[in-house]
Every structure is written in structure tokens, then in C-alpha cells.
Amino acid sequence: MASMADVRETKLPGVGVRHEFTTDDGEHVGVLVHRDGRRELLVYDRDDPDACRWMLSMSVADTRTIGELLGASRVTEEVDAVVRQEIEGLSIEWMEMPEGSPAAGRTIGDGEYRTKTGASIVAVIRGDKTIPAPGPDQAMYEGDVIVAVGTNEGLVRVREILRT
Amino acid sequence: MLIAAGSAEVALAFVEIGAVTLGLAVLARFAGWLGLTAVPFYLIAGLGLGEGGISQLEDSIEFIEIASELGVLLLLFTLGLEYSESELRSGLRTGIRPGTLDMLLNALPGVALGLLLGWEPLAAVLLGGVTWISSSGVVSKVLSDLGRLGYRETPAILNLLVIEDLAMAIYLPTVAALIVGGSLSSTVVSVLIALTTVSVILLAALRFGGKLSDLVVGGGNEALMLMVFGITVLVAGLAQQLEVSGAIGAFLVGLALKGEAAERLLRLFEPLRDLFAAFFFLYFSFQIDPGDLLGVAVPAIGLALFTATTKVITGWYAAGRIGAAPRGRLRAGTALIARGEFSIVIAALGASLIDGPELGAVAAGYVLLTAIIGPVLTKFYDRIPVPARLAARPSPAPAPTSP
């Protein structure tokens, strides 16, 4: 699974949140999420890097349609629900199970992630299959992408457990 | 029947209110057609209908006065609603420097002009407030109408507006206390009381805002609106009694409400705010004699041109800090030129001062000009000649953004 681009997030007081990243081709792309759930897809201008060359306004339903067409997984929505509550100090992170990880082949319960780190694993993504809300007897393997929610310190510790 | 008793007067009042509101509707439509805010047009309407104007209202004036007071409360209440706590924090973190520059560049010219005109210092300080604060309402509407919310310089503009609005939470109660005046020691005491009250309400808002939101959000829309309207007006009244501006009380109530409650309330209160705020602008310029406005035309125009330039510099600096290129920085600067509701709220505070009428006239002329120049320049920013030296200068490295 190709790694995700680095997404920067900027708050727009009274409007919503803007996420932006640079595509592999060097295009600067943004998504503006309005408070009411409307979204704008933005493509920035190469000559005037702050202005948008192209813009698409989408209702919540349009967003879902485009997401499906682009092959986004269901996990995004669930994650969205967590993030939208904007709980102070709570973050979400996608991490890949590294090769040779001692946690590979073991279940979530075996790893005692919640007890040790306070963070919860909310989904496991394996290839194009997503296992949302996995139970404690869910096994994880090398190459799985693990989606965890917790404090920043907690997430760092989850990453450490997966690696060593 | 109770209502029928005073029917002749009531009928006249209804006719006046109805006719005036219809007139405002036509103006709002005209402004929308031009792509401008309706505020300057309301002010012009008020000039024509008020003191020294072509005709005067007789029977509805009391209603319009109360409606205008409620208009200020609702303007500030909805403004507070729009900001979430985390936005305030990130705004404060990134905005102190541009906010300080904004104050120095834009408030000082107003103060200086007031003093040059030979006004009492307090009136000059109020004029400084008038020229300081950009209109959040006009700026965000213009950005959204022009489809520029997604532009990269926009957060710099919005953060500056947050800082200005927060600065008002200190400025308004302080000048309100100063206006009440008295001896030096009693003035110091009343300023301290005002600032303490604001801090207490602000802390309570941040601490218990979540609980308050949960508490009010329970029932249907009707109960929600009535309850929050009641709380807002009550807090504003109590704040007013403590010589703190009631408007700031309403602002803080708005800040306290968050999440789902804030979103529903914004939708519920927007129409109410628009109705009452229209009366506020109208009533403000009722009190201005059109003759006075002509008398202050030269200082008002000079001030508008000068502080339009200083706002462009402010925006240029703020957008540069987040790594915007020259064109983006110019867009940010022009977007900030428009002054509006807050400037009028500030000028209205000084109505009781000796130089109050002249302050009101300058403020009205000033807002008329900037609220029209601002959006027009924002739209046609690319026709503004920029010195080649500035345009070619590379922007500073983008500031690190928080993850």
C-alpha cells in the first residue's frame, strides 16, 4: 500500500478546517471542510500559489459519492465521526505494521494496547479490505495498516510496541 | 380588546415600521445586486429619515430604539457563536504579532485625527476603535461570495478578525467604564470592575460552556431560541448594570455555547439578527444630521484613504507570515479594508460625549466609504499597481503549521 501524502491542516475560524497536500505530480490540492459538512475541493494555481485555479463545491451526499468513486474505505467515515467531536488532545493515526514486527500474527488482546498505552485500535486495513471496530481476538499481520485513536503520547507508544 | 384601545397610535406606528422595513428590504436587495454589504445603505436611509433629514418618524421611534439595542446584542451574540474555543486558542497563538501591528497601524491614525480635530481624548480613543476593527461580517461575506475561502491567505485574514473581536472584549468594557467617568479613582475602580466582570464571564463561559450547551439544547427549536434569547438579554442587562458594555455580555454568551447547540442557534438567530441589526444601523444614523456629515467629509475621506492603506499593510504582513506570495498578500490586505458593524457600535458608545455627534458623523461617513471601497478593491485587487520591488520579493518561508 502506497504511503499517504503529508496532509497539513489549518483551522479557519468561523468557517471550518482546510486540509492540503501536494500530489505526486506536484499539484497543490486542498479540501475545505465547512462546519455544516459541505466540502470544497480546491486545486491551487501554479502561478499564484495562494489562489485556486479550480474549485468544486460538494454537498455531504456529493462528498460520499466522490469518496466511493475514488475508492475510499468505510473507515474514513467512522474516523470522521471521532474527529468531528474535536476532543481536545485526542488524535488519530494510521500506522503500518512493520516487517518483522513482534506484534505480527498476534491478536489485539495479546498486545494489551489499551492497557499499556490508553489508545484504542479502531480499524485494521488489510489490502483493500477494512475491518472496522476490531474485537480483542482480531489478529494483525505484517503490512496491515492499523488505525488507532488516543493521545499523542499513547500513539507514540503504540508505534513503539508494533516496532519492537 | 387591549390592542384596539390605543389603535390610532398603534396603527400609525405599524405603518411607519412597515414602510421603513420595506425600504430597508429594497436597499438590501440593491446592495446584493451590487455585490456589496447593505450596512452603508442602511446608514444612508437613516440619515434621510432622522434628525435634519427629509422626513422624521414620530410614532415608531421608541420601538426602533429598543429594536436597535437588541440588534447590537444579537450582532455580538452571533459573532461569539461563530468561534469555537479551539479556534480562539489557535487564533491567539498565531495572531498576537499581526494583531498588535493591526492595532498600532489602524487605531493610532483614528486617535491622532480625533486629537487634531480638538476632541476630548476619550472621543479620540473611540475614533481609534472605529478605524481599528475590520468588519467580520463584511469580510467573511465578501470572501465567501468571491469563492476565496479556500485561498491560502484566508486563514491569516480570519485569524486577524478573531484577534480584533477578542480585543474588543477588553476595549469595549474599558471605554464604557471611562465614559461613565467621575473622579480618577472611581474611574479606575469602574474599569477594574468591568475587566474583572469580563474575565469572570469569559472563564465561566470556557469552563461551563459545554454544560450550558447541553442544558439548552434539549427541547425543540422554539424552546431553544426563547431560552437563549432570554439568557443573552439577561446577561447583557446585568453586564450593563455593572457598567460593562451589554454587547460584550452577549458576545461572551455566544462564545460559551458550542457544538450542536451553536450550530442550531446560528441558523435560528441569523434572521433575527439581520432584522434587528438593520434597525440598529438605521437608528444610529437617525441621530446624525446630514449637514454634519458634509461638514466632516474631508477628515472622513482622508481617514478612510489613510487607514485603507494601513489595513493593506497589515494584511500584507499577516499573510506573509503564513507564506503567502505577493498577490495573496495583496488580496489579504484589501479584504481587511471594510469597517462596519463594530465601528458603528463603538461610535454609538460615545453618543453622550460632547464631541459625540461629530464622532458619530465621522464614523458614519468613514464606514460608508470603507464598506464600499473595501469589497470593490478586494474584487479588483489585481488592477492595483504594486511596486515591482515588492511584487518580486520572495515571501518568507512558510511558518510551520500545527499538525
Residues A134 and A96 occupy one common structural domain: yes
Q: How do the domains of chain B map onto residue ranges?
A: 13-392
Asked if the structure places residue A2 within a domain, the reply is: no
Contact B374, B141 (CB under 8 A): no
Three-class secondary structure of residue A126 per DSSP: strand
Q: Does domain B13-392 have CATH number 1.20.1530.20?
A: yes
Contact A36 B263 (CB under 8 A): yes
Asked if the structure places residue A100 within a domain, the reply is: yes
Calculate the CA dihedral of residues B147, A32, B274, B26 and round it to 10 degrees: 20
Three-class secondary structure of residue B283 per DSSP: helix
User: How far B230 CA sits from the closest chain A CA (Å)?
Assistant: 24
Asked if the structure places residue A26 within a domain, the reply is: yes
pLDDT band at A3 (very low <50, low <70, confident <90, very high): low
Asked if pLDDT for residue B399 goes beyond 60, the answer is: no
Joined together, the cell numbers standing for residue B342 give 463594530
Asked if pLDDT for residue B116 goes beyond 90, the answer is: yes
Q: How far is CA B329 from CA A14, B144, B181, B248, B317, in A?
A: 21, 18, 42, 32, 7
Among B261, B252, B251, residue whose Cα is nearest residue B214:
B261
pLDDT of residue B395: 47
pLDDT of residue B239: 85
Residues A104 and A133 occupy one common structural domain: yes
Residues A68 and A96 occupy one common structural domain: no
Asked if the structure places residue A3 within a domain, the reply is: no
Calculate the CA dihedral of residues A155, A156, A157, A159 and round it to 10 degrees: 90
Asked if the structure places residue A68 within a domain, the reply is: yes
Q: For residues A112-123, b (16+ Cβ closer than 10 Å) or e, as one string?
A: ebbeebebbbbb
Asked if the structure places residue A98 within a domain, the reply is: yes
Highest mean pLDDT among A90-99, A135-144, B171-180, B221-230: B221-230
Residues A105 and A157 occupy one common structural domain: yes
Q: How many CA atoms lie within 13 A of B349 on its CB side?
A: 32
| Preferred mutation among A17, A27, A50 to probe B, highest tally of B CBs within 10 A | A50
Asked if the structure places residue A1 within a domain, the reply is: no
Residue of B nearest to A31 (CA): B150
| Preferred mutation among B93, B151, B331 to probe A, highest tally of A CBs within 10 A | B151
Burial class (CB in 10 A: 0-12, 13-18, 19+), A164: exposed
Three-class secondary structure of residue A70 per DSSP: helix
Domain that holds residue A156: 91-163
B252 alpha-carbon distance from chain centroid: 15
Asked if the structure places residue A146 within a domain, the reply is: yes
Mean pLDDT across chain A, nearest whole number? 82
Residues A12 and A65 occupy one common structural domain: yes
Contact A14 B90 (CB under 8 A): no
Residues of B with Cβ-Cβ distance to A13 under 8 angstroms: 82-84, 87-88, 90-91, 158-159, 161-162
- Domains held by chain A: number: 2
Asked if pLDDT for residue A128 goes beyond 80, the answer is: no
